Structure 1
């Protein structure tokens, strides 16, 4: 369904949201869009936080001299901070 609906959302500028009872649907209510966006931001924040704490941080602690892990750690910390700010904005 995503393959067909996403281009339609962009073509008609009608945001696509997902809810448990209705699944994917178009909504013309800004409250629905904001609720969906906040939900997705919280979900992504959780995923990034878990990746940092369970994988990247232990890697960085074991091999602090590795350029790769320091790059990943730095970038993911920035993403985590941005998602945290967004999830708190307007709450």
Structure 2
């Protein structure tokens, strides 16, 4: 079940509809952020809110996914290879983010308070997440 965005207001819905229409017209090519802003005549913050809402709308309606690549920008309904490359990119980013959080925050906390029940719990859970993401990233 998709999570609900905090940006689910009527304005964000309109921005999402506008962006979906523009991206649909651009298919199979994508558009980079500034092209989306120019084509939609929306401000950067409106484009960001629209993209966040669009991802939620896509998930709830079962539509083809929205991805972003450095080469092509935002794309709707990309090919399988592009989808897999995007998924791998996001998994690797999250894995790096988790590892930095573990080594930079949680590990020092655990070293300072080794008997703390919360620290033991969060270390176990984050190690599990790290292991799972690592398995996915190397698959």
User: What is the TM-score when the length of structure 2 is the normalising length?
Assistant: 0.59
1:64 positional shift: 0.6
Root mean square deviation of aligned Cα: 1.6
Larger radius of gyration: 2
Aligned to 1:60: 110
Aligned to 1:2: 51
Contact 1:9 1:16 in 2 (8 A): no
Contact 1:56 1:73 in 2 (8 A): yes
1:70 aligns with 2:120: yes
1:10 positional shift: 4.3
1:22 positional shift: 3.2
The alignment partner of 2:78 has SS state of coil
1:5 positional shift: 2.1
CA distance in 2, matches of 1:12, 1:52: 34
In structure 2, the gaps of 5 or more residues are 1-49
- Taking a change above 3 Å as real, the CA distance of residues 3 and 62 of structure 1, as seen in their structure-2 partners, is closer
Contact 1:41 1:86 in 2 (8 A): yes
User: What is the TM-score when the length of structure 1 is the normalising length?
Assistant: 0.87
Aligned to 1:33: 83
Contact 1:38 1:87 in 2 (8 A): yes
Contact 2:98 2:126 in 1 (8 A): yes
